[in-house]
Copies of this chain bind each other. A is one copy, B any other.
Amino acid sequence: MGRQPPLAGRDDPRLQERYEQLLTAAAEEFATRGYHQTTVKDIVERAGVATGTFYLYFANKEQSCAALIERLYGRVLAEVVAARAGKRTKLDKLAASIRAALQVFGAHRNLAHIALVRAPGAHPLFDELLARIHRELWDLVAEDIAEAIAEGLLPPQRADLSARALIGALYEVVISWLQAEVPARLEEAVEPLVAFCLRGLGAAWPPPR
C-alpha cells in the first residue's frame, strides 16, 4: 500500500509500451467482468506477461483501475476545454462541452464502462477519485449555468441542481449505449442530448437565429 511501483514514470519506450499493454488488458477485463470479478491473473494472462510483472507497473490492483479512470477523465477534460475555446456564448460552450464529452466516451468504450458502471461503489478509492472528478465537472457546468442566468440567457434556477441533472442525463445515455446499445452508435445521441439538456436549462433550443 502506498509503495511506488518501481517502473512508474520511466522514459524507456519499451517500458511505456508494456505499461500500455497492461493497462489495455486491465481495461478489457474490468469493463467486461467488473472490478471484483476480475483477478490480477485475468489481466496478466490477457496481457501475456507474468503475475509479478503487473506489480512492476502498478502498486496494486486498485491503482491500475484508478489509472484507467484518470486517463478517461483526463481526456474528457482536455477535449471539453478545447471544444469550448472557440465558442462565444455560455450556451454554446455548454453544448460544445456535451458534444466533446460524448465524443470521448464514445471513443473509449471500455474506459467509459469502467468509469460509469464498474468502478462506482466498487472501492473507497474509486469513490473518492470519482467524487473529486465529478465535483470538478459539476463546478464547471454549474458556473456556466450561473453565468448564463446572470446574462439573462437562462431563467433563474438552482445552478448546482441543474448541473447535476445535465451530467446525469449525459451519463445515462452513455450507459444505455454501453449496456443496451441504445442508441447503436453514440453519435446518434449527441444532438438529441444537447437539445434535452439545453431545453432543460430553459434555453430556447435550437437557438433562434
Contact = CB atoms under 8 A, between A and B. Distances in A.
Given A34-B123, A120-B117, A160 B173 contact: no
A175 interface: yes
Contacts of A44: none
A143 to B, nearest CB: 15
Given A131-B179, A172-B171, A180-B131, A36 B122 contact: yes
A48 interface: no
A35 B36 CA distance: 10
A17 to B, nearest CB: 22
A161 B173 contact: yes
Contacts of A193: 161, 165
Interface string A160-203: 11101111111111011001101100001100110111011110
Contact of A195 (B157, B167, B176, B180): B157
Contact of A199 (B119, B164, B173, B200): B200
A196 B164 CA distance: 11
A166 B169 contact: yes
A160 B182 contact: yes
Contact of A183 (B161, B183, B196): B161
Please list the 10 inter-chain residue pairs (A to B) with the smallest Cβ-Cβ separation, ordered nearest first. A168-B172, A200-B200, A165-B169, A196-B200, A118-B121, A168-B168, A117-B121, A164-B176, A169-B169, A168-B169
Interface of A: 34-37, 117-124, 127, 131, 135, 157-158, 160-162, 164-173, 175-176, 179-180, 182-183, 188-189, 192-193, 195-197, 199-202
